[in-house]
């Protein structure tokens, strides 16, 4: 992993993960307690994602407030607290468990002096590392470009100052050159390439459908063991490890059931909260 220029220390980026627990919607005590539990689970999930991307999670912060702050998401008081934590723990990277607007991201980076990325950018960064097929790589780049497009203004200088590492894989600021026209042209090109790839995949699907076999799919949470089970059932060698989203490209294999009936078994991408849909 490329080391952030905000730190001269070797090794993984030191990360601080942050989530805002909104308390503005009133309800019974049980409902508030359940909502807080969901926020805590989501924060733990963000930390696991950060570690899967190669970061070392140093600290976690869960803030309760009635609404998001428009300028920084977390508000002036919490921002001052985070600034102290970042300096004291020599943090390289701050991860927010919410989607940040371009202005919010720039305000946070300017004040904290380190790279700040949100949950969507982190997941797309992991996808950029793990995609192996042509279609998967194109889909990830398309999602990254659509994510970056409304956040370009002033972003190039910030990324140059804060260095590489998590959140900077994929198309990158140098390639984009903060030029909206070029991005739109690239998006159109990717969409055409995707259409061609999907057309070829459609031919393969029709060939499979010519042989009437039922298709079964393994579905579930990311890192739940789907690929391990898939390998055990089909005697395959699909990559399976403890990282989130180790599987990004679906794999299909033929499987003989105990009844001697042949079916097709598919290993799929896992579920997670707030998975990017662009």
- Dihedral of alpha carbons 162, 84, 125, 158, sign: negative
pLDDT exceeds cutoff 50 at 1: no
Q: Report the distance separating Cα 12 and Cα 1, nearest Å.
A: 7
Q: How far is CA 59 from the centre of its chain?
A: 19
CB under 8 Å to 8, separation ≥6 — which residues? Answer: none
52: pLDDT strictly greater than 70: yes
pLDDT at 85: 96
Alpha helices by DSSP H, listed for 114-225, are 119-130, 134-148, 155-162, 172-176, 180-210
More confident residue, 178 or 18: 18
Pick from 55, 53, 47: which is nearest to 11 by CA? 55
Q: Which domains does the chain have, with CATH numbers?
A: 14-182 (3.40.50.11060), 212-278 (3.40.50.300)
- CA geometry: angle 49, 231, 126, nearest 5 deg: 20
For 152-171, how does the pLDDT look when each residue is reduced to its tens digit (9 = 90+)? 765 544 444 445 677 766 65
Asked if 213 and 254 touch (Cβ cutoff 8 Å), the reply is: yes
Give percent of the chain with pLDDT exceeding 70.
75
Please tell me the distance from the alpha carbon of residue 172 to that of residue 45, in angstroms, as a whole number.
26
pLDDT of residue 134: 86
Residue 61 pLDDT grade (very low, low, confident, very high; cuts 50, 70, 90):
very high
> What tens digit of pLDDT does each residue of 210-258 get?
667 888 888 888 877 888 888 889 988 777 666 667 666 778 888 999 9
Cα 223 to Cα 267: distance, rounded to the nearest angstrom: 12
Mean pLDDT calculated for residue range 199-209: 69
Average pLDDT over residues 170-181: 59
Q: Are 162 and 114 in contact (CB under 8 A)?
A: yes
Which of 151, 85, 157, 89 shows the shortest CA–CA distance to 120?
151
pLDDT at position 184 is 87
pLDDT tens digits, residue range 130-142?
Answer: 888 888 889 889 9
Query: For the residues 94-98, what does the mean pLDDT come to?
Result: 96
Task: Provide the Cα torsion 114, 117, 119, 122; round to 10°.
Answer: -100
Average pLDDT of the chain? 81
Which tens digits make up the pLDDT trace of 22-51?
987 555 454 444 588 889 999 999 999 999
């Amino acid at each position: 992993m490329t080391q952030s220029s905000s730190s001269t220390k070797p090794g993984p980026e030191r990360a601080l993960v942050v989530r805002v627990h909104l308390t503005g919607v009133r309800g019974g005590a049980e409902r508030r307690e359940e909502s807080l539990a969901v926020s805590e689970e989501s924060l733990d999930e963000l930390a696991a994602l950060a570690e899967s991307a190669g970061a070392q999670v140093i600290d976690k912060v869960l803030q309760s407030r009635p609404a998001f702050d428009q300028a920084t998401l977390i508000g002036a008081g919490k921002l001052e607290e985070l600034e102290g934590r970042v300096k004291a723990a020599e943090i390289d990277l701050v991860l927010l468990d919410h989607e940040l607007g371009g202005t919010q991201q720039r305000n946070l980076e300017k004040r904290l002096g380190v790279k700040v990325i949100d949950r969507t950018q982190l997941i797309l960064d992991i996808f950029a590392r793990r995609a192996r097929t042509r279609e998967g790589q194109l889909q990830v780049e398309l999602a990254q470009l659509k994510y970056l497009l409304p956040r370009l203004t002033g972003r190039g200088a910030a990324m140059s100052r804060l260095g590489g590492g998590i959140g900077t894989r994929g198309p990158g600021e140098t390639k984009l050159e903060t030029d909206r026209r070029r991005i739109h042209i690239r998006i159109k090109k990717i969409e055409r390439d995707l259409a061609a790839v999907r057309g070829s995949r459609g031919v393969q699907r029709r060939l499979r459908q010519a042989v009437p076999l039922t298709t079964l799919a393994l579905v579930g949470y990311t890192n739940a063991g789907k690929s391990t089970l898939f390998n055990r059932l089909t005697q395959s060698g699909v990559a399976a490890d403890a990282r989130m989203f180790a599987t990004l490209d679906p794999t299909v294999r033929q499987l003989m059931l105990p009844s001697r009936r042949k079916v097709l078994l598919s290993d799929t991408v896992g579920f997670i909260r707030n998975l990017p849909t662009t």
